[in-house]
Amino acid sequence: MLISLNLGAYKLISKNFYGWKIVGAGALINFFSIGLPFYAFSVFFIHLQEEFNAGRFLISSTLSILIIAGGVFAPICGHLVDKYSIQRILSIGSVLFGLGLIALGFCQNYYQFLIVYGTILSLGITLFGNLATAKLISFWFNKKNGIAIGYAALGISLSGVFIPPVAVYLISIFDWRITYMIFGAFVIFFFLPFCRFFIINKPADINQNIDGEDPLTSDEAKIDEKIMDFWSIIKVPAFWVLIIIFSLQFCANLGVYSHIFPYATDLGFDIKKAGFAVSVGAFGAALGKLVFGKLIDIFSARITLRVSIIIQGFGIILVSYASSYSYLLLSILIMSLGLGGTVPLMNILFSKTFSPINFGKALGMAVPFMVPIQVIGGPMSGWLFDRFGNYDLAFSLNTGVCFIAFLFVFMLNVPSNKHS
């Protein structure tokens, strides 16, 4: 009778498992923390160029500044995420992020704009973004960690579909300065109370267990959570292999996807069709996050990663030979499906390799090493286009980058999945 009552209680707990609400919260945070500074920026591009009378090289360097600054802040934020309450980190990050967006509206020259992007905004995004949300989810999930992180990362790609049209609408009513201020005020006044009252750090805080299972099953699923210091992490060979693989994937991503809009117009398609091609890429990336988040819970990490890279590289080849609009859209969809798996796979593999308790520190330490390689992709493709008048060589080189990343997967050694 007692066993029956316990089973009934377990089913009730599992049915009302709060972890999936945490996943939804992570997706929402990722939606805004990536969508506003990255995807919306393309909408502000022309307005910034006109306002500050700046060249395209200077304007296009903004995201590179953001990524480089993020690489500087990542180790610090990774340490904070591992040491302090995730709820508190997200709350502080939301305020800094919102203040950074508001500050952009007050910039009087573009160098001030770059300083804001590379300081308070970058720090806010690093605290209020993927590093913290992935760490949070790793506290709630073990067996289903892959699909959970995939769902949360879905917010990143969906922001590319929905944020730009909202920015266009607001700029048409107000101007670019007021639009940034509106975004910033929304982030502060919505997410500060949201993080304070909705985010719960660990299942134990509300008498639940990892994956929503009973204590016995949950304890069996636990992995060794020995706290690692800086030197212990960098001595792990997989740390450096992961850095090479994902920095190359991000490099190829930026080298092609950031040029989809001008590439589509070069093929003779109008601005609306070029914009839709970018949205198709965002949709494909969203689909990829779901697909690969699920696959890594079924197959081994190395197999899943290989498939992701193969699809990305094959998609780039298809894009480079696009002739018709429908062929271009299909090619972009295939390419983005592969690159969509990059973020969830990176989060999961770092968590598997170093355990959830060391995740923030390990990924935070890895980011500065990734940045110098990944920021090369976009500017290099642009330089090659300026040099030769087309993207043929640029896209071919980015395909080669994917091939090198694929080879390094054979050197990767991470803990095996139970489901493999």
pLDDT, residue 155, reads: 86
228-420 folds as Growth Hormone; Chain: A; (1.20.1250)
pLDDT, residue 398, reads: 93
At 402, list the tokens.
């994917």
CATH 1.20.1250.20 region(s) of the chain? 16-222, 228-420
163 φ/ψ angles, rounded to the nearest 5 degrees: -65, -50
Give me the average pLDDT of each 10-residue run along the chain (420 residues).
Answer: 37 66 93 86 77 73 82 81 86 94 92 91 89 85 78 83 84 91 96 92 87 58 63 86 92 84 83 79 84 79 88 93 92 90 83 77 83 82 83 92 93 61
pLDDT, residue 371, reads: 81
- Per-residue DSSP letter, 1: -
Radius of gyration of the chain (CA): 21
Angstrom distance (rounded) from CA 79 to CA 226 = 15
pLDDT, residue 228, reads: 77
Q: How far is CA 146 from CA 34, 289, 348, 352, in A?
A: 20, 10, 6, 10
16-222 folds as Growth Hormone; Chain: A; (1.20.1250)
pLDDT, residue 3, reads: 37
pTM of the predicted structure, to 2 decimals = 0.74
pLDDT, residue 165, reads: 81
Which long-range contacts (C-beta less than 8 Å, at least 24 apart) are formed by 210-219?
A: 210/139, 210/140, 210/141, 210/142, 211/17, 211/19, 211/140, 211/141, 211/142, 211/143, 211/144, 212/13, 212/14, 212/17, 212/19, 213/10, 213/14, 214/6, 214/10, 214/13, 218/142
